[in-house]
Amino acid sequence: MAKITIVLEDTIDDASVGKDGYFYSHLDLSSCGVPENFWALQWNGSTGHIEYNSPMIQNDEITELPGWANACVTKWDEAKSAQEAAEAEAARIAAEAEASAAEAEQAP
C-alpha cells in the first residue's frame, strides 16, 4: 500500500495530500469527513499516526487507514488526473503548433 501524508495548511479547504512522496497542495477536503482538531496524518503503508492541532488531544496510532483519509486520497487521485489531462492537452496543442509551423515552412 502507498505511503500517505495529509496535512492541513490553514483550513480544511487548504490542505496538502501526498502519496508516495508526490504532493498536491491547496486541496479542499471539506467533503471528506476529516475529524475536528485534525492537523496531520502519516501512513507508511501498514501503520501510521494521526496528529491533532490541540495539545489536549494525544496522537492516535493507527493500523488501518480511516475512511475519511481514503476520501482525501481520492482528492489526490482527482488532482493527479486533472494534471495529467492538462499535460496531455498541452502536448497536443504543442504538437499541432509544431505541425502547423512545419507546414508553413514547406508552403511555396
Residue span of the structural domain in which 12 resides = 4-106
Share of the chain above pLDDT 70, in %: 98
Taking Cα atoms as reference points, which of 56, 51, 58 lies closest to residue 34? 51
pLDDT at 37 over 70: yes
pLDDT at 22 over 90: yes
Q: Burial, 14: exposed, middle or buried (Cβ in 10 Å; 0-12, 13-18, 19+)?
A: middle
> What pLDDT does 36 receive?
87
pTM: 0.84
Number of domains composing the chain: 1
Measure the CA–CA gap between 82 and 45, rounded to whole angstroms.
Answer: 25
